[in-house]
Amino acid sequence: MPIINVIFKLGDGSKLNNDSFGLLAQRLTESTVRVLKKKRELTVVRINHDTSNAQWFSGGKPLLGNAFEITIKITNKSNTQEEVSTWSREAYESVIHELGGFEGPNYISVLQNDETNWGFNGLTQYARKQWAS
Q: Which of 26-40, 45-59, 87-101, 111-125 has the lowest mean pLDDT?
A: 45-59
Per DSSP, the three-state class of 117 is: coil
For residue 15, what pLDDT is reported?
66
Residue 77 domain boundaries: 3-132
Domain of 80, CATH number, reads 3.30.429.10
Predicted TM-score (pTM) of this structure: 0.89
For residue 2, what pLDDT is reported?
96
**pLDDT tens per residue, range 69-127:** 999 999 999 999 999 999 999 999 999 998 887 888 999 999 999 999 998 999 899 99
How far is the C-alpha of 99 from the C-alpha of 106, rounded, in Å?
13
Q: Structural domain tally of the chain?
A: 1
Tell me the angle at which helices 18-35 and 81-99 cross, rounded to the nearest 10 degrees: 160
Q: Is the pLDDT of residue 55 over 90?
A: no
Can you tell me the mean pLDDT for 124-133? 86
The Cα-based distances of 4 to 7, 12, 78 in angstroms read: 10, 25, 16
- Number of C-alpha atoms within 13 angstroms, CB side, residue 56? 22
How far is the C-alpha of 47 from the C-alpha of 62, rounded, in Å?
22
